[in-house]
Structure 1
């Protein structure tokens, strides 16, 4: 299953992304974030090389 998380580099979004990757090992997580005032790539640095994690910088 593919899950799109918007705002996944912020505090709440990044914790949700971490939870999903730990709880559902077969899910692919796509993190879409514009990296504005609250988005911070340091929040997802520990999972950036995870095989089921993808980051996309963009806006919707």
Structure 2
């Protein structure tokens, strides 16, 4: 399952990142690589919390 992540370089340093398709799914990192790692974890936790099984992305019920 893939999601668009929007990265913003902060004036104070580091990056913030959000996933528009997942309301409230945000993260940050001191550099772009850390932000990528953190948002992947945030997406996993979001999907787990919402009881969404990413292996069924194309399933219709």
TM over 0.5, shorter chain: no
TM-score, normalized by length of structure 1?
A: 0.30
Q: Which structure's residues are more often strand, by fraction?
A: 1
User: Looking at both structures, which has the greater relative contact order when contacts are Cα pairs under 8 Å and sequence separation is at least 6?
Assistant: 1
TM-score (norm 2): 0.29
Give 1 or 2 for the bigger CA radius of gyration.
Answer: 2
